[in-house]
Each structure stands twice: as structure tokens, then as C-alpha cells.
Amino acid sequence: SDEFRMVRTQPIVFSPLDPHLLFFATNCLWQTRDGGQNWTQLSPDLTRKTYEIPASVGNFRARPTAQPRQRGVIYTIAPSPLEKSRIWAGTDDGLIHLTTDGGRNWTNVTPPQIGAWWKISLLEASHFDKSTAYAAVNTIRLDDLRPHIYRTNDAGKSWKEIVQGIPPNENVNAVREDPRRRGLLFAGTERAVYVSFDDGENWRSLRLNMPATSVRDLIVKDDDIAVATHGRGFWILDNITPLRQLGASSQQTLLFKPQTAVRVHWNFNTDTPLPPDEPAGENPPEGAMIDYSLGEDAAGPVTLEIKDEQGNVVRRYASTDPLPSPDPKLKIPRYWVRPPRVLSDKPGLHRFLWNMHAAPLPEAEREYPMTAITHETAPQPTGPWMPPGEYSVSLTTGGKTLSQPLTLKMDPRVTASTADLAKQFELSKALFQMRAALQPIGKSYDALVAELTKAKERAAGKSELEPIEALRKKMEEFADPAAIRAGQPPELDVLSKVKKLFGDLQAVDAAPTPQQEAAVSSLQRDTQSVTEKWRALPAN
């Protein structure tokens, strides 16, 4: 109708204090409590009645359609997260209003320098002070590409422009406050995301790997930032807990307190990944995120240790760890494979990921799952999942050790009890120890079987063939009889069974079955028997 106006970008916002209260705006503010079936008007027309046509519209000023008329709409709504009746509203023709009584009375609190063609792009009500708010103001319609962000600490009586550090040619579309750390702000401009650690007094780029694109809005969700762009989709910055901790210490070398890690099976796909040219989103990093910062004065190698509640080291990394060589037996495309994770010893801020597994078996052959993801397919872990609980992280460099607690929680969808998961870990650890004992035997076994095959081909007569056949028969005692009957090359049967049962136990988050418990006990006896038989073989 002529009475109510709206544009294609319409604000619709839930109250942060009432999940049933939804706000919507035309040139007036509205609310509903029944999912939009009925609406109540909360404000009069909050837009400008008159205004001047700016020079930036050029020859268009002379056209009849350009003559002044009331045209504005409420473009942004910011209900206070501290006081239900306090609501901020900003219009696309440069006005900011505030109500402190749920809409019965409105006060014009617009900064005096803001004019009719300044768009109040986004308002943010503070999570810490009911009288504080932030305004992102866009002036592109005036051919003014400068950034404009304003802050009030006295309910709009006065405003301060806070854009130091944002380049002069980047209009601002959005400003948001971190709901957990006071003074930590984020801004979205026509090119990037910016961060401020001092309530907007100074800004620095947080673009990282984002393309240069128009950032229209952003929001802090738990420990992540979700960003909406114009033309480049959605982007998420995972785990901003280090940003919340920056500034709390003057030291350059820091180990940040990690966020709670959730143990979750990352991928249950049963096929190959999407083609590289297929547009698709990117998963968040897999594992517990450990962030640290090294100063210019950091000296020597860097080590990182994960310890359980008893202080036992369950995983250790070092910047001197050698990079694994390319797998010569790789049976999948190389672009599927996740690049090795390296603990950096370079100055700056770093993020390292622990996969929440115990240390792997050294020199174990790398096996890759069918559940492949482009550039993120890691070898199957040979160490078991660590159970949920309390751990600690220790970073050592230059003879100095820093420590932080780390909580590992279970996937909330899992119904297995703590005792169930402890039993799973106990059995998996037993199988891990069996595999560690059997692995050198398995390598020797495979090498000997291969050598016997070559020797049989070289044998000149019966006298040379008989001892080879006798030893080959001896090797078959260690192999799966069914595989031998099927004509397959013999392999160490007990090692194959240990690996298979370990994989079965680790594939699900559930209590081990009685049959699995019995199988572990049986394999322990078989491992002991095979080890003794192997040692009894003649050295030659």
C-alpha cells in the first residue's frame, strides 16, 4: 500500500531474549508472536519526511521521478540482548531511532553528521552495556567510498566514528560485536572482513584466504564467524577463541586455551569424492584445534605434547619431525590426499590439529579409506580414538613450556556410556599392542614369502626345490587356510585379523559386543603363539 513501503532487502530479526518474538520492518516496525499470523505495529513511520537531492545522481536530478518524496524504509533492526523493551532501528535514508519501552515511544538519536542519503546498513546492540550500540553506515550513493562506523556509549546522545585501520576506499556494510569478549568487534566491508580488539579504536584485516568480495553481513555463532557475501557465497572462520584471548598477555610466545574438542566420525561416505570442478562447500578442520603464537625471539625446535589426566603422553609432535615421503603404493589420485600436518617453528600465529587418536604405529603401511574427500583424505589412523575426558596440551620452545587444559567431548548424538567407551578404548589399545608386536613379524613374513617365490623360480632341480617347498609349507602354517585354498598369496593371518577387529571396534561409538571381547582374548593367545613359533624358526 502507499502507507507502508519496503525494499527487496527486508530486515527480519528474532528477539535475542524471546524465541517467539519476531520483528519485521517496512517504513514502520512490526512484531509477531504467532509465526506471522498476526502482526502488531510498534512504530510510526521512522523515515525522513523531506530531503535534498544530492549532486551524485547527476542529470537524474532534473527528472520528475527524482523530485523529493518520502521514500525511506527501516533497513536494520537491533533488539537489545540485555533488555527486552530496548530496540534500535536504522533507516536507509540516514536515521537512527531508539525505543526503551517496547515501541511506545521513540527517540531520534541520529549522529548529526549523517544525512538523507547515508544508509544505516546495520545496527548492533551491545551484549555488555545496554547503552552501547554500533552503526555501520554506507555512503556509496553519494559517491563516498570511505568507511563509516559509529559507536555510542550513552544510548545515542553522542556518537564517535571508529574506522582507524580500514582503508579509505572500503564502504562498510556490517559491524558485529563478539558476545563473549567485550571490545572484540568485526566489520564487513566491500572487500574484506576486519577485526578490532579495542572496541573499534583500531582495525586490522581478517581477510585471510577469502576472495576480495562484498561482505554484506556476518554473525558470531558460538566460536565461529559466519560471513554472507554478495556473489561469493557463505564463508565461515572456524574457532575464533584465539582472537578472544589476544591482548590478554604482552608475551609474544603464547599457547591459547583450546576450545572444547568434539570426537566425531568425520565422514561416513562410501564412495569417491565429488569431481574437483563440482562446486561444493568445505568441511571445518578435523580434529582438536591447537593455536599458538611464536615471537621473533623463539629459539630452537618446537614440541607439542598431549597428555591424559594421569599425565601420560598420548601424542607428541615436534617441528623437527620428518615429512612422510610420498606413498609409492598409493592407489588413489594424489589430489585426494591430505597434505601432511607440520608443527611450525616460524614466528607468527599457527593452528595445529590433533586427530584425537593415540600415536600411530611407526612405519606402518599407509592405508586410505574409501570415504574420500578431495585434498582431505588422511590415512586410516593406526592408533585408537582417545576416550572423552580432560587432557592437557604442552608447548615447549627455547627451554620454556606453556600448558593449557583441553576437554574432549563425545559427539552429542552418541548414546554410548562413558564405561562403554572406556571398554572400547581398552580393547582397541590391546589390539594396537598386538599389532605393534606382530608388525615386524608381518614384514619379515611378507619378505620371506616373496623371496621363496623368487627362489622357487631360480631352483635348478629337485635338490634345491625340496627345502624351498618345505619352508613354503611352514609359512602356510601362519596364513589363512581359506586364502591358501583360494590361491591367494599367503599373509600373516593373525595380523590380518587384529587389523580387521581393530577397524571394526573403531568404526562405531558403541559398547563392544561379547563376541568382540572374546575375539580380542583369542587373538591375544594367537599373537603369543605366533610370536613364539616365529622365534623358533631357524635363523637361516
Residue 244 CA, chain-centre distance (Å), reads 16
Backbone angles phi, psi at 194, to 5 degrees: -125, 155
Does 56 score more than 90 pLDDT? Answer: no
The CA distance from 71 to 47, in Å, is: 8
> Average pLDDT, whole number, for the chain?
91
Handedness of CA 274, 276, 278, 282 (dihedral sign): positive
Calculate mean pLDDT across residues 318-344: 89
**DSSP assignment of 297-309:** T--S-EEEEEE-T
The predicted structure's pLDDT at residue 70 = 78
- Give CATH for domain 12-237: 2.130.10.10
Sign of CA dihedral 221, 223, 229, 234: negative
How would you class 145 by CB atoms within 10 Å of its CB: exposed for 0-12, middle for 13-18, buried for 19 or more? middle
Return the closest-CA partner of residue 53 out of 67, 71, 63, 74: 67
Among candidates 340, 346, 351, which has minimal Cα distance to 237?
Answer: 351
Q: What is the C-alpha separation between 427 and 514, in angstroms, rounded? A: 12
Taking Cα atoms as reference points, which of 360, 363, 381 lies closest to residue 266?
381
Enumerate the domain spans of the chain.
Answer: 12-237, 244-414, 418-536
The residue type of 449 is V
pLDDT class of 515 with cuts at 50, 70, 90: very high
The CATH number assigned to the domain with range 244-414 reads 2.60.40.1930
What integer pLDDT is reported at residue 400 of this predicted model? Answer: 92
Range list of β-strands (E), 275-434: 288-294, 302-307, 313-318, 348-354, 389-397, 400-410
pLDDT score of 506 more than 90? yes
CA atoms of 461 and 470, how far apart (whole Å): 15
* Beta bridge pairs of residue 172: 189
Task: State how far the Cα of 532 lies from the Cα of 483, in Å rounded to an integer.
Answer: 23
- CA 103 – CA 100 distance, rounded (Å): 7
Task: Specify the pLDDT at position 55.
Answer: 77
pLDDT tens-place string over residues 445-493:
888 888 888 887 787 777 778 777 778 787 878 888 777 666 666 678 9
Least confident of 302-306, 450-454, 529-533: 450-454
Closest CA to 183 of 230, 247, 120: 247
Query: What pLDDT does residue 89 have?
Result: 99
* SS3 at position 76: strand
Whose grid coordinates read 572423552?
388
Tens digits of per-residue pLDDT, 136-165?
999 999 999 999 999 999 999 999 999 999
Quick one: cell of 446?
611378507
Domain 244-414 in the same topology as domain 12-237: no
Identify the pLDDT of residue 250.
59
Report the pLDDT averaged over residues 424-439.
97
Strand ordering across the sheet containing 87-91: 74-79, 87-91, 96-99, 107-108
- Interhelix angle 418-458/493-506, nearest 10 degrees: 150
CA distances from 40 to 29, 45, 137, 443, 444 (A): 9, 14, 28, 77, 80
What's the predicted TM-score (pTM) here? Answer: 0.87
The three-state (H, E, C) secondary structure of 433-445, written as one string: HHHHHHHHHHHHH
The three-point CA angle 525-531-536 to 5° equals: 130
Residue 539's pLDDT is 64
- Does the pLDDT value for residue 540 go beyond 60? no
Q: Could you tell me which residues come within 8 angstroms of residue 500 by beta carbon, excluding any fewer than 6 positions away?
A: none
Quick one: which of 116, 128, 6 has its CA closest to 57? 116
pLDDT at 224 over 90: yes
pLDDT at 266 exceeding the cut of 80: no
- By DSSP bridging, strand 193-196 and strand 215-221 are unpaired
Q: How far is CA 128 from CA 37, 83, 121, 182, in A?
A: 33, 11, 22, 7
